[in-house]
Amino acid sequence: MSDLDLTRLTAVRLIDGYRAGEFSPVDVARAVLERAGRIQPEVNAFVRLTGEEALARARESEERWRRGAPRGRLDGVPVTVKDILLMRGHPTLRGSRAVSADGRWEEDAPSVARLREHGAVFVGKTTTPEYGWKGVTDSPLSGVTRNPHDPSRTAGGSSGGAAAAVALGAGPLALGTDGGGSVRIPAAFCGIFALKPTYGRVPLYPASAFGTLAHVGPMTRDAADAALLLDVIGTPDARDWSALGPAPGSYEKALTGGVRGLRVAYSPSLGGQVAVAPAVAAAVRRAVEGLAELGAYVTEADPDLTDPVDAFHTLWFSGAARVTQRLSERQRALLDPGLREICARGARYSALDYLAAVDVRMDLGRRMGRFHESYDLLVTPTLPITAFEAGVEVPKGSGQRRWTAWTPFTYPFNMTQQPAATVPVGTDAAGLPVGLQLVAARHRDDVVLRTAHALYEAGVASVAEPPAGAGGLRPGGR
């Protein structure tokens, strides 16, 4: 084991190693916690680490594996939880100084509860912008989360801490949330995999103030780990009235079969609506060519999609206003100024404004439904740019106002509730990762995962290795 860096292994590989007695959950937990502590000063991925609890759970798991009786499918596997999701015994502060840590914190979110039932080892709570409101990760509570590939750049958001932790080996699995791209954005910037499942596939409680835009999704080193994690967390929970019923089958088992014969629409710029950086466009095009070489029928085609940003803003800003509605003036003064600004705007919308945005959303969903009658998959860049400077909402000098200006490929598919994933497909000249987005029809998470897995198996997609840094570390690989 001396030559084996346990922080470089995927969850699938860890389970194989536990079963074979190659190493133990305690060995892995110690290695991951040591890595998390070393990267924290430079990248700031964690709100808190839960080391004593993690080691206690790892020791319990080690004993179960010794007896040949693992509790579940993730027994002993380290996982991190975004500090938007409830985790029993620890405050969930949502990146806000306006949220009190007082209280007993006795309940798990559904996804966290499923992980606990399957024996996962909780490493800690990861950073988020306040209430997950924007596409980068900085907050008045926890400061700025930085990119593993260049700490002067943003990790993206709002699940930025989760992405940085996975990229740097501080746990192979992470739970994130995605209301407009919040697992896909940071995964693309940090060079890992992330899936926004079909809405309702992963139950959410308490309900998000952003309503049915908000999804819970896996953030991992590859698609196989994401499928394993989705099998665990994608089961019904009575607390979520909008959750889907049981999955049609195992997502992990659905990974095989490849992409031969899949009908793929490749949209480089959504019909010229998006200006894509040349390095991003080139990397995505090379990956699409690889998809065609694997046997997919690839056609350059654009969905019937006009930018729904105004409708998205109505829904998003209204949700932000709702989540902060009961705060006192003293608490409001503690909020991120950008969040205060969108809350004020959201509070001015009428019910008719909101319903008009819902109409836009329903029509967009109808058009995408018709599109997927002709195509199994839509492929786009995940983002039109690579990671920009940390600590700002939009790139300096861009003239942009809000984070939605540079995420035009992600938020439309929150409005339509479709499954969408990002896979790393290269880097730009500065070594910053590029992501490719895979989108399928509602309820076809299996198609997204199977395609992503085929790209990893063929070497078209791979973990983008951070350079030596963040404590001189160079984690990565399977």
Q: What are the sequence ranges of the domains in the chain?
A: 6-457
Contact 166, 148 (CB under 8 A): no
What pLDDT, on the 0 to 100 scale, is given for residue 248? 94
| Predicted confidence pLDDT, tens digits, the chain (478 residues) | 556 899 999 999 999 999 999 999 999 999 999 999 999 999 999 999 999 999 999 999 999 999 999 999 999 999 999 999 999 999 999 999 999 999 899 999 999 999 999 999 999 999 999 999 999 999 999 999 999 999 999 999 999 999 999 999 999 999 999 999 999 999 999 999 999 999 999 999 999 989 999 999 999 999 999 999 999 999 999 999 999 999 999 999 999 999 999 999 999 999 999 999 999 999 999 999 999 999 999 999 999 999 999 999 999 999 999 999 999 999 999 999 999 999 999 999 999 999 999 999 999 999 999 999 999 999 999 999 999 999 999 999 999 999 999 999 999 999 999 999 999 999 999 999 999 999 999 999 999 999 999 999 999 999 888 985 444 444 433 3
The residues near 52 (Cβ < 8 Å, ≥ 6 apart) are none
Q: In which region does residue 254 sit, left (phi positive, over 0), alpha (psi from -120 to 50) or beta (all else)?
A: alpha
The matching CATH number, chosen from 3.90.1300.10, 3.30.1330.40, 3.40.710.10, 3.40.50.300, for 6-457 is 3.90.1300.10
Cis peptide bond upstream of 408, omega within 30: no
**Candidate list 158, 159, 208, 267, residue with the active-site label:** 158
Question: Looking at the DSSP assignment, which residues form a beta bridge with residue 81?
Answer: 125, 175
Question: Pick the catalytic residue: 182, 267, 318, 462?
Answer: 182
158 is catalytic: yes
* Beta-sheet pairing, 297-300 with 150-154: unpaired
What is the pLDDT, as a whole number, of residue 476? 38
CA angle 77–81–87, rounded 5-degree value: 100
Q: Which of 24, 61, 82, 134 is catalytic?
A: 82
Cβ(420)–Cβ(439) below 8 Å: yes
3-state class of 220 per DSSP? Answer: strand
Question: How far, in Å, CA of 404 to CA of 59, rounded?
Answer: 44
Task: Identify residue 116 by its one-letter amino acid code.
Answer: R
* Helix (H) or strand (E) segment spanning residue 280: helix 278-293
CA angle 96, 120, 116 (to 5 degrees): 70
Give the model's pLDDT for residue 475: 41
Judge whether 429 and 197 are in contact, CB under 8 Å.
Answer: no
* Known active-site residue 142: no
Question: How many CB atoms are closer than 10 A to CB 355?
Answer: 10
For the question of residue 125 being annotated catalytic, the response is no
pLDDT at 465: 85
Residue 464: count other Cβ atoms within 10 Å of its Cβ: 23
Which residue do the tokens 């897995």 mark? 453
Give the pLDDT confidence score for residue 2 in this predicted structure: 52
Q: Are 104 and 138 in contact (CB under 8 A)?
A: no
